[in-house]
Every structure is written in C-alpha cells, then in structure tokens.
Structure 1
Amino acid sequence: MQLEHDHSPIAIADRLGDGPSVNYLRDWVYGGIDGAVTTFAIVAGVIGAELSASIVLILGLANLLADGFSMAAANYSGTKTEVDDYKRLHAMEERHIDLEPEGEREEIRQIFQAKGYDGDDLETMVNLITSRRQTWIDTMLAEEFGLATTLRSPMRAALTTFAAFVIVGAVPLLPYFVGLNSALLSLAMTAVTFFAIGSMKSRWSTQSWFWSGMETLAIGIIAAGIAWAIGMLLRGLIA
C-alpha cells in the first residue's frame, strides 16, 4: 500500500509549516455542474420550442454571464457570512475566557471527559490546552461549534464559482458557435463534461475515477432530463 506523502521529520516539518490548505473544489464542482445544466436547459428549451439557433446563442450567453454572476455573488455572500460568524464566535470565546475562565476550563474538561479522558490525564489535557490562549479558543470553536480554524476567502470562492460556471457552461453552446446546430452533439459534449468533472473530483475522494464520473454524469443527466421535459411542455403550451 502506497502512502500519500513522506513521513520523514523534514518532510513533516515542511508540510505542517505551510499550515492547512483551503480547498475551493466544491465551488468549482458546484459552479461547473450548474453552468452546464442551466446552459443545456437553455438549449433544450429553445430546441423544444423549435426556435432558431441564434436564440440559443443569445439566451445561452445571457445565462452564462447573468446566472454566473448571480451564483458567484450568492457564494460570496454565503462564504462571507461564514467568515463573519467565525469572527463573532471567536470574539465571544475571547470575552468568555476573560470574564469566566474557570467556566471555560470546565467546558474543556467536560469536552475531553466525553472523549474518554479521566483522572490525571484529563487534568493534564485541560492544563495543556488552556495554557495557550489561541489553542484554547481554537479548541472551543472546533469542539463546541464545529468550526474549522481555516477560513475560506469569499472573493476566491466567488471567482472560482464564476469561472467554472462560464467555462463549463459554455460547452453546450460550442456546437452552435461553430455553426453545428445539433442538440444531440450539445448533449453528448455536456455528458462528457459531466463525466470529466466527476472523474477529476475523485482525486479528493475515496471513489474510483470511473464511479465518481458516473455519479456526476447521472446527476447531470437527470437535471438535463428535467430541462428537456420542461422544454417539451413549453412547446406544447406554445403550440
């Protein structure tokens, strides 16, 4: 069995010295899948309503920019809210440690008692954690509120979502850009893109690249099927 990284003292020091990394993979996957689904929904709806290829491009490009910006703005606001909430709870824990240190020590004691520590080991653990203020606060934030110590950048999260939405969302429109007005080709390219996104995200999961790709493809196909069904319904209403 192959290890994922070196465990020599120097390698460990280098890896830990950089601190924990912040992952924006979910923003990319979320933005990419939504971009492909919503853009293909435009294609399916327009083709289902038997409108011209120029309408596909106009509505598709409008969707890429407007909906992409909307998603990025929503992700920015949501991520910023998480950061603000972390800062609020951090300030609260600092205030509690200043005003009621023994009560906060008792919270640490009960937290680690619930983990199975007792006697001298428990008191040693409490003394060690509360001897360093930042460690004390980080422990309370993680154990009491379930918060990570690394904060995601709202701007980077938003830009990642927007970039993924535009890049991946443009795939269903590519055949129409080059004059190949084929909904079937658009669907095939979108399906390949879904599979590729799933395969790439397997690097950060325990799934194989194939099954991760198939899972994402299935999600995309279901969403595309809903869009196609709506397009067909709208064609019936227009007719």
Structure 2
Amino acid sequence: MDQRERRALEDEHRPEAIRRRLGAPQRAETVPDAILGGIDGCVTTFAVVSGAFGAGFSATVALVLGFANLLADGFSMAVSNYESIQARREHIQGVRERENHHIDAVPEGEREEIREIFRRKGLSGETLEQVVAAITEDREVWIETMLTEEHGLQSEGLSPLRSALTTFVAFLVVGAMPLLPYTLASLGTNRQFLASLAMAGAMFLGIGMLKSVVYRQPMVRSGLRTLLMGGAAAGLAFLTGHLAQAWFGVAP
C-alpha cells in the first residue's frame, strides 16, 4: 500500500468520517440487479438467436422470437425480483412484530437473549451487563439488534420497485444488443449470426469487467468467466435447435 492509499484510508477512518458514513441512510443496491438483468437478458435473446440459427430458421423468425422473449422474460424477471424483495420485507416486518411482542410478554427472556449474543462475542462481567443495559434501554435498538444478531436480517436497502425497474431496464437494453444485427436486412444469415455472436460476447465480457470494477475483483478473470457462462448457454441453445431439426423434423 503506497502513501496516497494509506492517507486516503486514514481519512476514511477519522471519527467524523466514520460518523458521517455510518449515519447516512443505506441506499438500495442496484448494481447486482443491473448485472443480473443484463446477463439474463443477453443470454435469453442470444439463446433464441442461436437456437433459431441452429434450426435453420430465417432472420425474421429469429428477430420475432427474440423480441417476444425479450419483453416477456424481462417483465417476468422484473416481477419475480419485485415479489422476492417484497416477500423479504414482509418477512422482516413479521419478525419485527414478533420480537416486539416478545419484549412485552417476556422481557427478561429477551434480555437474556441479548446477553447470550454478546457473551458469544467475548464480552463478560460488568462490560457485558453494561452493553445489555444500553441496548435494552432503547426499544428500537433492542429490536434492531435482535433482527440483525439473532435472525441475520437487514431491513435497510430493500426497494422492490427500484430493483424491479433496474432489472427490467438492464434486461431490455443488454438483451436487445444481440438482436440488432438481425434488423439489417443487407447482411446474410451467416453474417447476421456472427455479428450477433460478437455483440453478445462483447456484452458478456463488458458486464463481467464492470462487475469486477464495482466489486474489486480481477477484471480479466471476471470478464472471461461471465463470457464463458453466457457462451455455454448459447451453445446449448444452438445444439438444441440443431438437434430438434435433425431428430424431430423441424423445418425452417
């Protein structure tokens, strides 16, 4: 670690910086939703393109099937993401209400749970009792501590609508890329597929590299891993289309 990085790290850990960072409201995390939507959108449409090309269908069929799947699957994925996060929020609220009821019904038992939680963290004696007293003095702090420490639940940063919209937009934007070459009638079928292949590969590689920047992972390895996963899905679709034509008499 060089001197510049060390100074920046020290500045981030000054008391006022820590208070400001921890006191700021936690925002909903949209990057995972965008990455998930983008990868799934690109896989979905390029799998359709690969399957159509493998079966020998025309560019028009590939384009129609691709856009139909793009809209339908994008909407379905956005709704699924919305329902999943909404269900998590409702579960957390249910646990919160249950803990609130337990504090009213068996306060000493709930204090003992707090005591045991922090005893397992290595506290004991007078220090442990002071921590228990400080936490149980504030009901909201008490409940939040039970949520995070006993149940492992985090209530902040969950936004069903934002997650759903982020997923849907990323799905549409990235998923449309492999379909663009099929809108160019001047290209032959083989060139359309190769251009779509190159576009999809660029999308997979770009998403993987973007993910590495956000989460501070090795850029090349992350990009290649995403490219290989997307390529595997497209290869399966191509093989399925080709075998369907050969085995079941599917004709273009």
User: What TM-score do the two structures reach when normalised by structure 1?
Assistant: 0.94
Offset of residue 126 of structure 1: 0.9
Partners of 2:178 and 2:196 within 8 A in 1: yes
Instruction: Tell me the amino acid that sits aligned with residue 170 of structure 2.
Output: A
Aligned-residue sequence identity (percent) comes to 48
Instruction: Tell me the amino acid that sits aligned with residue 167 of structure 1.
Output: V
Partners of 1:83 and 1:151 within 8 A in 2: no
- CA offsets per residue over residues 191-234 of structure 1, 9 Å max, x none? 11111111111133241222111121121111112112111111
Which residue among 84, 95, 109 is the counterpart of 2:90? Answer: 84
SS in 2 for 1:170: helix
Which residue among 155, 171, 176 is the counterpart of 1:170? Answer: 176
Query: In 2, distance between residues paired with 1:129 and 1:26?
Result: 33
Which residue among 192, 204, 210 is the counterpart of 2:214? Answer: 204
**Aligned position for 2:244:** 234
**Aligned position for 1:220:** 230
User: What TM-score do the two structures reach when normalised by structure 2?
Assistant: 0.89
- CA offsets per residue over residues 79-123 of structure 1, 9 Å max, x none? 110011011011111111111111000001111111111111211
What is the CA RMSD across the aligned residues, in angstroms?
A: 1.6
Partners of 2:37 and 2:170 within 8 A in 1: yes
**Aligned position for 1:53:** 59
Offset of residue 10 of structure 1: 4.2
1:74 aligns with 2:80: yes
SS in 2 for 1:51: coil
- CA offsets per residue over residues 125-181 of structure 1, 9 Å max, x none? 111111111111111011111101314111111111111110110011011123334
Query: In 2, distance between residues paired with 1:211 and 1:169?
Result: 23
Which residue among 195, 203, 214 is the counterpart of 2:205? Answer: 195
1:6 aligns with 2:12: yes
> Mean alpha-carbon deviation: is it higher for 14-23 or for 63-72?
14-23
Q: 1:97-112 residue pairs with structure 2 within 5 A?
A: 97-112=103-118
> Mean alpha-carbon deviation: is it higher for 200-209 or for 87-96?
200-209
Where does structure 2 lack aligned partners over 5 or more consecutive residues? none
Count how many residue pairs are aligned between Structure 1 and Structure 2. 239
Partners of 1:49 and 1:238 within 8 A in 2: no
Instruction: Tell me the amino acid that sits aligned with residue 224 of structure 2.
Output: M
Q: 1:9-158 residue pairs with structure 2 within 5 A?
A: 9-158=15-164
